[in-house]
């Protein structure tokens, strides 16, 4: 007779800021702590352990962290007065970059850990319970982290993230990632495939491969020695039974090699949507950013991608007001956006990151000018996104149903281009790819209805998409 599992004795709350890789890292931290009896909590007030998984890319990341730590100090005191412990940990890139400041300004924090050390969380929790003061782990044992992580504990859901590469060797002038995530490291292909198979067995139907420079992937080959690039890895993943869709992010234009572009041509399950940050349309600014490519080289990569997969849509990142950016430089960015077209994009004002070359560069752009440029760029990008969404109206698309919609009787899913899609339907369709006729293109989503016929299997739309 099987003995029922004991009820978890402890509760864990994780607040995650930033990129998809942080979302993946948070899930793996929960996996690491599950054997200690930690199960999810709905709020910090109900948690025996709280982890703040931070991101250093967004503006005012440190200020947001310390504001949250101030609130949690009060919560920790209230729990202590009630005889309840709360272990407080700060993880991620802000922890890596500013560990000393965190311990100085927030001594009530029990654990500070960088992105490469969360596999050692059980040991850190034990040390924090034994000793006064903060436990700090911010070194870079990248290989050890992946080697020592347990298999995924929680069901992944219909869509899942899978980290295949970490770190960055590019050293863009504005970016802290090389300092907080370390040098580039690629997981062995066999380990990636094994984790992907577990995710699919748990119910995942779409997997997004993650990396700071994911298309720089060069993992150990499954057999025969040597390494695989991302294109070869995608072909192996495409052979996993039950997996319907593949995506990857974030890419660098310099690493879009012929093998990867051919994968976009040859693999229908590789979705026709690619996040490819360009940052600026000005060669002078790109050189100051140390991006390693020109605007013309970026355009050439886009042309090769569109020749391989005509329906591909691009997302990108843009920084306005990088030190030294002139009005003419910004105009070159607007010109590139109009020429290429970006149905989705992320755009930001430049903000200095301590320790990066751009932080000390001359000719910092005044804040009012940065504000004006960002508003102009975002207006153009919003128009392009709305136009792309509207161009889907009347098309029948394969939509992967991921869960309930916002209203009763409504379900939601993802188009091949990562657009949220809302439609009437049954939750019995969750995890299935179904044909949906698009009835409306909204600013940030699509709405439609189930098309007549059987469940779609093809990843190709029924009509040729209009160019972005």
Range of the domain at 285: 144-391
Structural domain total, the chain: 3
* Residue 18 pLDDT greater than 80, yes or no: no
State the first-to-last Cα distance of the chain, in angstroms, to the nearest integer.
61
Q: Is residue 459 part of a domain?
A: no
238-284 tens-digit pLDDT: 999 999 999 999 899 999 999 999 999 999 999 999 999 999 999 99
Residues 201 and 341 in one domain: yes
Together in a domain, 254 and 130 = no
Question: Bridge partners of 349?
Answer: 320
Residue 137 covered by a domain: yes
The CA distance from 108 to 110, in Å, is: 6
Percent of the chain past pLDDT 70, that is, above it, reads: 90
CATH number for the domain including 163? Answer: 3.80.30.20
Residue 437 belongs to a domain with what CATH number? 2.40.50.140
Query: What is the per-residue pLDDT for 350?
Result: 92
In a domain, 232, yes or no: yes
- Distance between CA atoms of residues 272 and 398, nearest Å: 12
One domain for residues 410 and 319:
no
**Separation between Cα atoms, residue 384 and residue 381, nearest integer Å:** 5
193-232 pLDDT, tens per residue?
A: 999 999 999 999 999 999 989 999 999 999 888 999 999 9
Pair (379, 404) in one structural domain: no
CB-facing half-sphere around the CA of 24: CA atoms within 13 A: 24
The answer to whether residues 255 and 346 belong to one domain is: yes
Final residue before a domain boundary, out of 141, 164, 196: 141
pTM: 0.77
Binding residues for [4Fe-4S] cluster: 19, 55, 93, 168, 172, 175
Please state the residue numbers annotated as binding site. 19, 55, 93, 168, 172, 175
Mark which of 361, 391, 421 sits at the end of a domain: 391
């Amino acid at each position: 007779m099987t003995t029922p599992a004991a009820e978890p004795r402890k509760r864990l709350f994780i607040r995650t800021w930033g990129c998809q890789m942080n979302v993946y890292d948070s899930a793996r931290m929960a996996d690491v702590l599950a054997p200690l009896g930690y199960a999810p909590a709905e709020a910090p007030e109900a948690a025996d352990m709280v982890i703040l998984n931070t991101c250093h890319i967004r503006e005012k990341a440190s200020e947001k962290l310390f504001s949250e730590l101030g609130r949690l100090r009060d919560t920790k005191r209230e729990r202590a007065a009630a005889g309840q412990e709360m272990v407080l940990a700060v993880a991620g890139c802000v922890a890596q970059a500013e560990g000393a400041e965190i311990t100085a300004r927030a001594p009530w924090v029990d654990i500070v850990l960088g992105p490469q050390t969360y596999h050692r969380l059980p040991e850190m929790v034990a040390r924090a319970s034994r000793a006064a003061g903060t436990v700090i782990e911010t070194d870079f044992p990248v290989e050890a982290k992946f080697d020592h992580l347990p298999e995924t504990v929680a069901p992944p859901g219909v869509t899942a993230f899978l980290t295949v590469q970490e770190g960055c060797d590019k050293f863009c002038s504005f970016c802290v990632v090389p300092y907080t995530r370390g040098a580039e490291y690629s997981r062995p292909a066999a380990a990636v495939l094994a984790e992907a198979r577990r995710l699919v067995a748990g119910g995942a139907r779409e997997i997004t491969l993650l990396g700071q420079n994911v298309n720089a992937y060069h993992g150990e080959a499954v057999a025969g020695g040597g390494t695989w690039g991302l294109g070869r890895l995608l072909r192996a993943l495409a052979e996993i039974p039950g997996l319907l869709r593949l995506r990857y992010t974030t890419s660098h234009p310099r690493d879009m090699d012929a093998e990867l572009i051919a994968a976009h041509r040859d693999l229908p399950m590789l979705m026709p949507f690619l996040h490819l940050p360009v940052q600026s349309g000005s060669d002078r600014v790109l050189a100051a950013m140390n991006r390693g490519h020109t605007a013309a080289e970026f355009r050439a990569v886009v042309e090769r991608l569109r020749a391989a997969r005509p329906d591909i849509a691009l997302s990108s990142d843009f920084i306005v007001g990088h030190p030294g950016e002139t009005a003419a430089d910004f105009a070159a960015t607007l010109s590139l956006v109009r020429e290429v077209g970006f149905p989705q994009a992320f755009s930001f004002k430049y903000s200095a990151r301590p320790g990066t070359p751009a932080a000390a560069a001359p000719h910092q752009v005044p804040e009012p000018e940065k504000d004006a440029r960002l508003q102009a760029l975002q207006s153009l990008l919003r128009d392009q996104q709305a136009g792309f969404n509207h161009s889907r109206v009347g098309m029948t698309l394969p939509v992967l149903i991921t869960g309930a919609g916002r209203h009763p009787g409504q379900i939601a899913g993802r188009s091949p281009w990562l657009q949220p899609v809302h439609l009437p339907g049954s939750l019995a369709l969750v995890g299935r790819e179904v044909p949906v006729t698009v009835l409306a293109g909204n600013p940030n989503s699509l709405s439609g209805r189930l098309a007549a016929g059987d469940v779609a299997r093809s990843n190709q739309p029924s009509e040729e998409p209009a160019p972005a």
